[in-house]
A and B are shown apart, each in its own frame.
Chain A
């Protein structure tokens, strides 16, 4: 197979001194799925940003079809058919899917009428099984759905090189499997697909060749047939080997921390998002809510937290009816919240670590004056206890990596001694080591007696840490499924009506 795109001796150093790419040379061939495997911070995203024109390397060359090219803007790469689907898809919230896709088509020099865009999107969606509705407004789509929009966009643009940055982040096991099929199919059409992932299993399943990166360097490239799990692990982590957090045995306690009784909730559009959901979370117990994104999990989570009021049904916290109680009252009762958006909901962007600790605590602590001294000490305690990598607690939270943000957030929420922990996709986008740490912290909170409610799109993760699992599908809760879990039964419930 011929090399379509070749990165030669790419060097990138960020202004903060991080050497993200150190002499990376990599070849992408037409008709293959090339895995780019590595931990968070290994330099995978930096490399594809360089290849897609989003970032100019300090040194190095990009060769496209045997010719050296220089990308000044992403549009230059787009015109050659090199397209990047970022890990967190960024679409225009107020536009429809067709408008968003059509806009990119136009800017890529392949403009067509809106009707034509809608027709072709529908075709592609059906053909590849993407479930994309061209007339849906972007702001109502889940991250998983937005990811599928980006895939449809890549197919529509007839990309020669598709760079997929952690496309499985927001997908469920079934969706992941169908994504693998989509990638294989794109490769069989002669396209080059670069598949970034930190999951070895995925890489082995989907890729023809696997390139492993560690700390900004390319460690090596292995062919599909020659790659073994152990070898890839060694290449990714060096001497370190991650392990799954183990769930201690022992049944759930008697006390119900959270109980939902026949809860009906409307979504932002006024339609029913949650249809008569009943569930309970016992103390000392991890309860998982699985399901494909966009089946009402978000609305249910917001109902538990107190941001959305159910139209019918009751929410009980520690046996007390809190259906009409605001989030602050629930937090005072011992509720901790780990939202999906670490920055923006969990943490205030642009503000310091101290501010973010104080901000969450001051409302609970009451009083008129803010005791910055004590919050500074608290922030330092949290940072050291949670091993947050930060130069100073006065640094803005934005300067932290995703994993460190999540550590900080967990520290703030859990170290108070929460009785109910509500977490939405707590490990999304984190590397193996951090995800493992986050899961262990949630399990640990449960062993200290808290009831932990985890919404996740990662069924494997839920099966590892949960005592019982509910499955959400089209606004209804199925289950509970108890340990030991029957994978097939749980997965089947995901597609139930």
Chain B
């Protein structure tokens, strides 16, 4: 494989991570952690396959993926944002609920190929990949250059003070969770549509949700940082099969991506702190006192 092909594969591998991680970043910027990304991606993939098989429309497939994940995330909105239950427990419940629901919805699709997502001719990347690359700069503009973004970050910094100044904390946070869920759902849909011809099978998104959460931290809760983190992770996925060919011992091949991520985490933290960037205070407040 030539380097360009590896880059393209990396970008493709990175796309579902990027969508889900950007979504989770929005949630965490509002001051909550939704650990249910894995479940939302699973449901998204299954709903996308089902809609693809029955409507034959790619747009419907992606939209259903987003919608299904949003419906699942409503549980989180009600339980955590409105009722104030524990975010860790509810997040984990979302993971198991999502996987279970995905198995049910996916079985309706019957494993048939749905609406495959193919690269735009002459460009080498598909529509969703293109859109997901445009998303980080857009989110950066919203987060740091619009009052909506400032409000969102304010809620994530100090919700009591935000409420005292008249921000509707639950509304902002609830919307953040739903937007995050929609992005995770599209991420799941992308896995089914782009990697498996719109086909679904159990465990098709296995593990991606957790990696997305890690990429939010690696990207230091900044849209451009998350872009870099996800692309790095995607590249590592693309390179991994080549490592044995290059003579890297098999034991190290499995560990290599994680070691690389660890090193990247250290570099990212140092750079971001020099830049004065901070994680949302109410989520990772410990960082500020160090």
* Complex contact B157–A94 (CB within 8 A): yes
Q: Is the interface of B mostly helix, strand, loop or mixed?
A: helix
* Complex contact A269–B274 (CB within 8 A): yes
* Complex contact A103–B151 (CB within 8 A): yes
Interface status of A90 (Cβ within 8 A of chain B): yes
Interface locus among B1-9, B82-90, B119-127, B158-166: B158-166
Cross-interface CB contact of B165 among A75, A111, A114, cutoff 8 Å: A75
Residues of B within 8 A of A91 (CB): 161
| Complex Cα–Cα for A98 and B104 (A) | 50
Interface status of A275 (Cβ within 8 A of chain B): no
Please provide the chain A residues from 120 to 143 with a CB less than 8 Å away from any CB of chain B in the complex.
137, 139-140
Interface status of B278 (Cβ within 8 A of chain A): yes
* Complex contact A74–B150 (CB within 8 A): no
* Complex contact A74–B164 (CB within 8 A): yes
Within the complex, the shortest CB–CB distance from A11 to chain B, in Å, comes to 23
What are the interface flags for B144-164 relative to A under an 8 Å C-beta threshold, 1 for contact and 0 otherwise? Answer: 010100110110111001101
Residues of B within 8 A of A78 (CB): 166
* Complex contact B161–A107 (CB within 8 A): no
What are the interface flags for B164-177 relative to A under an 8 Å C-beta threshold, 1 for contact and 0 otherwise? Answer: 11110000000000
* Complex contact A92–B161 (CB within 8 A): yes
Interface status of B276 (Cβ within 8 A of chain A): yes
Q: Which residue of A lies closest to B290 (CB)?
A: A268
Interface status of B281 (Cβ within 8 A of chain A): yes
Interface status of A106 (Cβ within 8 A of chain B): yes
Size band of the B side of the interface? 20 to 34
Interface status of A447 (Cβ within 8 A of chain B): no
* Complex contact A269–B166 (CB within 8 A): no
* Complex contact B157–A75 (CB within 8 A): no
| Complex Cα–Cα for A137 and B161 (A) | 17
* Complex contact A114–B145 (CB within 8 A): yes
Interface status of B250 (Cβ within 8 A of chain A): no
Residues of A within 8 A of B162 (CB): 92
* Complex contact B165–A74 (CB within 8 A): yes
Residues of B within 8 A of A140 (CB): 276
* Complex contact B157–A137 (CB within 8 A): no
Residues of A within 8 A of B161 (CB): 90-92
* Complex contact A137–B276 (CB within 8 A): yes
* Complex contact B157–A93 (CB within 8 A): yes
| Complex Cα–Cα for A94 and B276 (A) | 9
| Complex Cα–Cα for A94 and B278 (A) | 6
* Complex contact A95–B273 (CB within 8 A): no
* Complex contact A93–B281 (CB within 8 A): yes
Interface status of A270 (Cβ within 8 A of chain B): yes
Residues of B within 8 A of A102 (CB): 147, 150
Within the complex, the shortest CB–CB distance from A52 to chain B, in Å, comes to 10
| Complex Cα–Cα for A107 and B164 (A) | 11
Residues of B within 8 A of A92 (CB): 153-154, 157-158, 161-162, 281
Q: Which residue of B lies closest to A98 (CB)?
A: B150
* Complex contact B281–A103 (CB within 8 A): no
Residues of A within 8 A of B164 (CB): 54, 74, 90
| Complex Cα–Cα for A90 and B281 (A) | 13
Residues of A within 8 A of B147 (CB): 102-103, 106, 111, 114
What are the interface flags for A103-118 relative to B under an 8 Å C-beta threshold, 1 for contact and 0 otherwise? Answer: 1101100010010000
Interface status of A99 (Cβ within 8 A of chain B): yes
Within the complex, the shortest CB–CB distance from A77 to chain B, in Å, comes to 11
| Known contacts A93-B158, A137-B276; is-contact A107 B150 (Cβ 8 Å) | no
* Complex contact A93–B276 (CB within 8 A): no
Please provide the chain A residues from 401 to 453 with a CB less than 8 Å away from any CB of chain B in the complex.
none
Most chain B beta-carbon neighbours within 10 Å: one of A93, A94, A268: A94
Interface status of B187 (Cβ within 8 A of chain A): no
Residues of B within 8 A of A93 (CB): 157-158, 278, 281, 288
Residues of B within 8 A of A103 (CB): 147, 150-151, 154, 165
| Complex Cα–Cα for A75 and B158 (A) | 17
Within the complex, the shortest CB–CB distance from B288 to chain A, in Å, comes to 6
| Complex Cα–Cα for A380 and B70 (A) | 55
Interface status of A374 (Cβ within 8 A of chain B): no
| Complex Cα–Cα for A93 and B151 (A) | 13
Within the complex, the shortest CB–CB distance from A141 to chain B, in Å, comes to 12
Q: Which residue of B lies closest to A271 (CB)?
A: B274
Interface status of A228 (Cβ within 8 A of chain B): no
Interface status of B23 (Cβ within 8 A of chain A): no
Residues of A within 8 A of B158 (CB): 90, 92-93
Cross-interface CB contact of B150 among A73, A90, A99, A269, cutoff 8 Å: A99
| Complex Cα–Cα for A73 and B169 (A) | 14
Within the complex, the shortest CB–CB distance from B220 to chain A, in Å, comes to 12
Cross-interface CB contact of A94 among B151, B165, B273, B281, cutoff 8 Å: B281
Interface status of B44 (Cβ within 8 A of chain A): no
| Complex Cα–Cα for A73 and B162 (A) | 12
Most chain A beta-carbon neighbours within 10 Å: one of B151, B154, B158: B154
Q: Which residue of B lies closest to A106 (CB)?
A: B147
Interface status of B280 (Cβ within 8 A of chain A): yes
Q: Which residue of A lies closest to B166 (CB)?
A: A75
* Complex contact A137–B273 (CB within 8 A): no
| Known contacts A54-B164, A73-B166; is-contact A139 B288 (Cβ 8 Å) | yes
Q: Which residue of A lies closest to B158 (CB)?
A: A92
Residues of B within 8 A of A100 (CB): 154
Within the complex, the shortest CB–CB distance from B238 to chain A, in Å, comes to 34
29 residue pairs of the A-B complex, CB under 8 angstroms, read: A74-B165, A75-B165, A90-B164, A91-B161, A92-B153, A92-B162, A92-B281, A93-B157, A93-B278, A94-B278, A94-B279, A94-B280, A94-B281, A95-B153, A95-B157, A99-B153, A99-B154, A100-B154, A103-B147, A103-B150, A103-B151, A103-B154, A104-B165, A106-B147, A107-B165, A107-B166, A111-B147, A139-B278, A140-B276
Interface residues of B (CB under 8 A from A): 145, 147, 150-151, 153-154, 156-158, 161-162, 164-167, 273-274, 276, 278-281, 288
Known: A90-B161, A114-B147. 15 other contacts (CB 8 A): A92-B153, A92-B154, A92-B157, A92-B281, A93-B278, A94-B153, A94-B278, A95-B150, A102-B147, A103-B147, A103-B154, A103-B165, A106-B147, A268-B273, A270-B274
